[in-house]
Amino acid sequence: MQTLSDFLRNSDTSTELQQLLITLADCGVEISALVRGGALAGVLGATESENVQGETQKKLDVIANDLIKDKLAAQPLVKALASEEEDYVVAGHADGQFLVSFDPLDGSSNIDINSLVGTIFSVLPAQDGVDGEAAFMQPGRNQVAACYMLYGPATVLALTTGNGTLMFSLDPSDNQYKLVDAKVTVPEQTAEFAINMSNQRFWQPAMQQYIHDLLLGKEGPRAKNFNMRWIAAMVGDVHRVLSRGGIFTYPQDTKNPAKPFKLRLMYEANPMALLVEQAGGIASTGYETILDIEPTEIHQRVAVILGSKQEVEHCLSYHK
């Protein structure tokens, strides 16, 4: 079976990007081990208590963030990084050619219940003479790579460098990622949707109507029954979409008027949108293609509707 390194070496990926991707993949191996052995680390950490040595025990998402930050700091190819867990852009190496945005631990509320979590990375090209947050203000279309690691019963790595989406599985016998799907393809049609139904009353009319029609099943305008799934970790839901299709959405809502959107553009929506598009799916806000959004800040949030092409298009038809 082809390892990730073999695959990259035989691809047309630049040696620099190969090197960076191996570093990101290594972060996944280490976080995977922490998650596995250390649901304890996360649970204890949630209390922010001190251990016997007087050190603060940190939440697993802070531990994962520090681990990635340290690994990327040692990587001269990285000019700057942006993380969900960092208020500001962290400077790297002045002549680095890549900007890395990441969600160190996605779905962190799942840690306490031993359920799915993952890590999401987005890689943008650095631009000469543009530093700090401004450097990251590029549409997702510019991403040179996107990937996530999902720490489930198996640890998997989904990767795109803009030439299709690939799936690797971490082999516990040698800690190597092995290629399991060289051409991930999202089926165009689906009968499965993912949305946090508890927010129903806060959605906009378009989403209300779309979900209402799905729920009517065979007797309704869609004339088929739909099934629902919600993992509460975007990595888990997107992985299901890449594996067997589906529509995943976290739409705009009015639950907290100060926060109409939940998911973050730079390290959740953009990388997942590229992975889904490269597998034949679609990713939109309802009104705009995710990858075409011109960002205005590193932590900005957006509505996300992604997945099987025909189903997402159907959902978008309610937004016209």
Joined tokens for residue 249: 């959405």
Cβ(196)–Cβ(230) below 8 Å: yes
Smaller CB separation from Mn ion, 17 or 242: 242
- The CB-of-96 to ligand AHG minimum distance in angstroms stands at 25
Q: Rounded CA gap, 3 and 34, in Å?
A: 22
13 makes contact, choosing from Mn ion, ligand AHG, none, with CB < 5 to 8 Å by partner type, with none
| Whether the Cβ atoms of residue 304 and residue 271 lie closer than 8 Å to each other | no
Interface with ligand AHG in residues 52-91 (CB under 6 A): 84
Nearest distance in Å: CB 234, ligand AHG: 3
> Is the Cβ of residue 84 or residue 311 nearer to Mn ion in the bound state?
84
Contacts of 86 (CB under 8 A, 6+ apart): 65, 69
Specify which residues 111 forms β-bridges with: none
- Which one, 105 or 211, has the nearer CB to Mn ion? 105
Nearer to Mn ion, 13 or 249 (CB): 249
Residue 291 Cβ vs Mn ion, minimum distance, rounded to whole Å: 18
Smallest gap, in angstroms, from Cβ of residue 150 to ligand AHG? 11
Nearer to Mn ion (CB atom), residue 224 or residue 255: 255
Binder of Mn ion out of 69, 106, 160, 276 (CB under 5 A): 106
Q: Pairing between strand 176-181 and 165-171?
A: antiparallel
String marking each residue 158-197 x if it binds ligand AHG according to CB under 6 A: --------------------------------------x-
Q: Do residues 241 and 283 lie in contact, with contact meaning Cβ atoms separated by under 8 Å?
A: no
Comparing CB distances to ligand AHG, the nearer of 19 and 196 is 196
Task: Work out whether 239 is an interface residue with ligand AHG (CB under 6 A).
Answer: no
What number of CA atoms fall less than 13 Å from residue 142's CA on the CB side?
17
Q: Of the listed pieces 1-9, 45-53, 105-113, 224-232, which binds Mn ion according to CB under 5 A?
A: 105-113
Are 276 and 290 spatial neighbours (Cβ–Cβ below 8 Å)? no
Q: Is 262 in the site for ligand AHG (CB under 6 A)?
A: yes
The interface mask with ligand AHG, positions 194-223, x = CB under 6 A, is: --x---------------------------
Nearest Cα neighbor of 143 from 272, 14, 22, 27 is 272
Examine residue 237 and tell whether it contacts Mn ion (CB under 5 A).
no
Provide the mask over 70-89, with x wherever binding to Mn ion is found by CB under 5 A and - wherever it is not: --------------x-----
Local structure of residue 200 (DSSP, 8 states): G
Residue with tokens 């530093």: 131
Stretch that binds ligand AHG, among 9-17, 35-43, 232-240, 294-302 (CB under 6 A): 232-240
Rg value, the chain, Cα: 19
Q: Which does 190 bind (CB under 5 to 8 A by kind): Mn ion, ligand AHG, none?
A: none
Cβ(156)–Cβ(184) below 8 Å: no
List the beta strands (DSSP E) in the chain.
78-83, 90-91, 98-106, 117-125, 145-151, 155-160, 165-171, 176-181, 192-194, 227-228, 247-250, 263-264, 282-284, 301-302, 304-307
* 108 in contact with ligand AHG (CB under 6 A): yes
Tell me the C-alpha distance between 253 and 260, whole Å: 5
Number of residues that bind Mn ion (CB under 5 A): 4
Closest residue to Mn ion in the complex (CB): 106
State the Cα–Cα distance between residues 154 and 172, nearest whole angstrom. Answer: 9
Dist CA 81 CA 167 (whole Å): 25
Q: How far is the CB of 270 from Mn ion (least distance, A)?
A: 12
Using rule CB under 5 A, residue 277 touches Mn ion: no
Please report, as ranges, the residues that interact with ligand AHG according to CB under 6 A.
84, 103, 106-108, 196, 232-234, 250, 262
